[in-house]
A and B are shown apart, each in its own frame.
Chain A
Amino acid sequence: KQEVTQIPAALSVPEGENLVLNCSFTDSAIYNLQWFRQDPGKGLTSLLLIQSSQREQTSGRLNASLDKSSGRSTLYIAASQPGDSATYLCAVTPGDKLIFGTGTRLQVFP
């Protein structure tokens, strides 16, 4: 059974710091991995999607890497801003549905 774990569960950093969020999964047989952002009371917004054949994806200040063989992904956020405060979730697709981690709650303070 696929299990997805995210560490840390919560993170609080000052504005301007570079930071790394971690995601690990137990079964490397996946089609892709997605990183999402969830703001309080809102749905999820897809940030980056990495296909199983890819190693990384970049969008603006965000960079996500995937090491399928070791079951790990990282989301790197450069020069963090207070507007980055949210919960970040990773999800893997082993077949026909996404399996989510429990998320990392990020707070960036001015």
Chain B
Amino acid sequence: GAGVSQSPSNKVTEKGKDVELRCDPISGHTALYWYRQSLGQGLEFLIYFQGNSAPDKSGLPSDRFSAERTGGSVSTLTIQRTQQEDSAVYLCASSLVMNEKLFFGSGTQLSVL
């Protein structure tokens, strides 16, 4: 595709519900990253994929968070039993290979009421 696409752009949910966030990276990009940006905070690394494998899951805040990538393309970040502190912008990025120029999507604004 022309750029990294994320959906939905906005998600409002009730505390305790599960949510799925989707990322479509640029076609052919092997590396895919998820970051979280809370209000007034810096970008917090969550997880990255090389192909369909996730060598580094160290940034996932808790076991309520999980992510997968299929076909070396689309990735889904799932948050179970959402909490208010999960409210943030979730950003996805991809690069042709690891450690190269990173292209970001516009993010998903998650609000947990």
Distance A89 CA – B42 CA, assembled complex (angstroms): 9
Contacts of A42 in B (CB 8 A): 106-107
- A34-B101, A34-B102, A49-B101 known; A101+B42 contact, CB < 8 A: yes
B65 within 8 A of A: no
The 6 A-B residue pairs whose C-beta atoms are closest, nearest first, are A43-B104, A100-B43, A102-B42, A44-B104, A43-B106, A31-B99
Once the chains bind, are B43 and A89 in contact (CB under 8 Å)?
Answer: yes
A32 at the interface (CB under 8 A from B): yes
| A81-B57 Cα distance, complex, nearest whole Å | 40
For residue A98, CB closer than 8 A to chain B, the reply is yes
Give the B-binding residues of A (Cβ under 8 A): 31-32, 34, 36, 41-46, 49, 89, 91, 93, 96-103
Flag if A97 contacts B45 (CB, 8 Å). Answer: yes
Of the residues B45, B50, B103, B105, contact of A98 by C-beta under 8 Å: B45
In the complex, what residues of A have CB within 8 A of residue B35's CB? 100
Contact of B42 with A100 in the complex, beta carbons under 8 Å: yes
Can you report 28 residue pairs joining A to B where beta carbons are below 8 Å apart?
A: A31-B99, A32-B99, A34-B102, A36-B104, A41-B106, A42-B106, A42-B107, A43-B4, A44-B102, A46-B101, A46-B103, A49-B101, A93-B99, A96-B55, A96-B56, A96-B98, A97-B33, A97-B45, A97-B48, A97-B56, A97-B59, A98-B33, A98-B43, A98-B45, A98-B102, A100-B35, A100-B43, A102-B42
Bound Cα distance from A93 to B33, whole angstroms:
13
Which A residues are in CB contact (< 8 Å) with B99? Answer: 31-32, 93, 96
Cα-based distance from A101 to B55 in the complex (angstroms)? 23
